Amino acid sequence: MNKYRLPLAAVVVWVVLLIVEVGAGLKMPYGASDSLSTAMAGLSQSLAPVRAALMHATAALPGVGGQLVAGLTIGDTSRVSESLDVAMKQASLTHLVAVSGANCQIVTAVCFALLSALGLPRWMRIAGSVVALTIFVALVTPGPSVTRAAVMSVAVLVGLAVGRLSSGLPALALATIVLLCLEPMWAIDFGFALSVLASAGLLVLTRPITSFLERWLPRWLALVIAVPVAAATLCQPVIVLLSPSLPTYGVLANLLSVPAAGFATVAGLIVCALSMLWVPAGAVAAWIAWLPAAWIGQVAVVTSSWPFARLPWPSGVAGVIAAAAVSALAVVVVTHRRKRWRRAAALLASAGIGCSLVVAIGSSAHAAVAVPDDWSIAACDVGQGDAVLIRATDAEGVAHLGLIDTGRRPDLVRECLRRMNISHLDLLVLTHYDLDHVGGASAVTGIVDRALVGEPENAQDRRLGAELRAGGTKVERGLQGMSGVLGSATWSVLWPDGRTPNMQVGNPGSITLIVRWTALSVPFSGAFLGDLGAQAQDALLNSVVDVGSVDVLKVAHHGSADTSQAMTSRLHPRVALISVGADNGYGHPTKKALTMLEGEGTLVGRTDRQGMLFVCVRGSDLVLVSDR
């Protein structure tokens, strides 16, 4: 019998979670239900002064350390700059500022040890640890990862209370089952899945990987290496859905950073306590917490700057299957007792990695060649949905970027941004809350400066706004008369007007923009109509008397028949972009919409037939370029 036989349940859970998360990444909308999180909202709100005290005490801390202290302590990343955020992602260290299992374990262990040192009986130590853990979860505000970790820690403490120390895997299974019963939508939450998979990897694979590495390394070093490798092995197939790449130096960066992260968490919590008691003492203690945070930040900055910090990997289902196969083969290499099986698995894993890298590099090279350098508008191919990028450079030649809607699926808009090499957006416009326009919003959470959104109709709509704000985005309701600049371009909102009661939400309330590029060799303008129907289009014409012709039109509602002849004639576009899915079942684009455009002499581009569409200015011409 294999000495390190994997529990069948662990294998089954891993496969099921992969299937669920592939479905989530490909089909599911933004956000999940948060009823469990809101159960602790009162306690969490009462601890807001503690969070504020920590932020005040650490406000003067310099450099990357000052940016990370709050994140390492309570998961607040509002001070993390865009460059440091990119470095943390490149180094595979973002989990350190997403408070989760490690933090809960630290809090529980420290509290248990302190109460033991006081000579308290076991039940009081356990009860005190549970109370401390509850307060900690409320302090950081409960999310899927930290809640899962807290429930698992409580399960272990209950085992201690009854005198039967539970093994980690049953505790993890219990935590997962309980939480999914209370919060079923967490089954499609990437953070929750990664938390469970990382924990399972640590519990199941750390020992065999350590034994495998002990053949060449001292045991302490083998164990240090085994921990991040075990977690990454099971998580990588899901991670490629979020970012189709491999962190070349991820294991090394984690080896150097994880010990410091524990120290930073404890020191940060001490800062919280001292800041509430005596502000100067908290400010002094903050410098102690700064030291490990600065170390972690420097590790991220340095390793992310090394050549080939991330290697490309196939995206979508193919990438998940390839990553899962390589992970499974890696497990065979470190766990199987027969040498020939280990060798065969190693060869197959190496071949799989090599083939995947060749495919990914080839795809990336093709995509890079296909994207023109001079684009101003790009309609992403996101199926039956809208996701349109706009770009304009400022006087210094710096590109400023906006995105109008995010399609239905996060993976598709994420792939579009990756292909365009976009990691930050100056402006996001969510025209209305239909899923084919906001379903992919999770792909841009945390990378947007300013967002214009419609009037929320329900809790899910309001939750999307809250998620954007939590990511550091300034969120405003888009209304007629609003205007702004994007690089050298200007934009203005034409609709909704805020005065027509039946045209404020849904398709009739779609935020409609006019964008004008005036600094190019061929100045031009574009109108973006969301899903505005014919009645609302006519109301817009009556409300805004100076609507004139435009050069580019993003056709309303994917080419629906519900469109206004008067609007089409007034705009008289030279180029029309129709963002639509192939064989969509709605009959989009309709013959009526296409006939109207043909009557205006408009050049029509369709994502269902031509793939991604680009509008470029070349010399004295406005050019439409497509993938196909």
Q: Please answer whether residues 490 and 507 qualify as being in contact, where contact means their C-beta atoms are separated by less than 8 angstroms.
A: no
Three-state SS for 547? coil
pLDDT in tens, 284-301: 888 998 999 999 989 988
**Domain limits at 282?**
33-188+249-306
**CB-side exposure of 239: number of CA atoms within 13 Å?**
25
| Residue 233: inside a domain | no
Q: What is the pLDDT of residue 558?
A: 94
Residues 400 and 484 in one domain: yes
Q: How far apart are the first and last CA of the chain?
A: 55
Residues 387 and 271 in one domain: no
Q: What is the pLDDT of residue 29?
A: 43
Q: What domain count does the chain have?
A: 2
| Residue 330: inside a domain | no
Residues 437 and 290 in one domain: no
Q: What is the pLDDT of residue 478?
A: 93
- Whole-number CA gyration radius for the chain: 27
Residues 450 and 570 in one domain: yes
Residues 484 and 595 in one domain: yes
Would you give the distance in Å from CA 619 to the centre of its chain?
A: 38
| Residue 355: inside a domain | no
Q: What is the pLDDT of residue 574?
A: 94
Which of 260, 290, 306 is the last residue in one of the domains?
306
**Could you say which residues of the chain have pLDDT below 70?**
1-44, 82, 98-102, 142-145, 148-149, 152-153, 155-168, 188, 190-191, 242-243, 315-316, 352, 356-357, 359-369, 545
Write the DSSP assignment of 96-117 as a string of letters. Answer: GGS--HHHHHHHHHHHHHHHHH
| Residue 218: inside a domain | no
pLDDT in tens, 299-308: 988 888 888 7
Q: What is the pLDDT of residue 43?
A: 65
Phi, psi values for residue 613, rounded to 5°: -115, 140
| Residue 510: inside a domain | yes
The strand order across the sheet containing 388-393 reads: 474-477, 448-453, 425-430, 399-404, 388-393, 375-379, 613-618, 621-626
Q: What is the pLDDT of residue 369?
A: 53
| Residue 283: inside a domain | yes
Which of 306, 333, 353 is the last residue in one of the domains?
306
Q: With a threshold of 0.85, does the pTM exceed it?
A: no
Residues 418 and 298 in one domain: no
| Residue 15: inside a domain | no
Which of 268, 284, 306 is the last residue in one of the domains?
306
